Amino acid sequence: MILEDLGLRIKQLRAREGLSQESLALKIGMDRSYLASIEVGGRNVSLLNLKKLADGLNVSLSELFEDL
């Protein structure tokens, strides 16, 4: 399901960037516990937050969703 798939993708990209949840959340101005709930597929994330996440992970939105 897309929420879980996106959560896993964000977790993988975050690890690739060597960022903790804390540091990514701080970088993009998002609450850490909200980011944690996104990573476990628990949030129907909005486009503006998706864009913040993509920017914070140094990928385009298209790359964020590649093969999902």
Residues that bind its own copies (CB under 8 A): 2-3, 6, 44-48, 50-51, 60-68
User: Least distance (Å) from its own copies to the CB of residue 46?
Assistant: 5
Contact between residue 13 and residue 59 where contact means Cβ atoms under 8 Å apart = yes
Distance CA 20, CA 67 (A): 24
C-alpha closest to that of 56 among 18, 2, 14, 16: 14
Specify the residue, 3 or 36, whose C-beta has the smaller distance to its own copies.
3
User: Least distance (Å) from its own copies to the CB of residue 63?
Assistant: 8
User: Least distance (Å) from its own copies to the CB of residue 60?
Assistant: 7
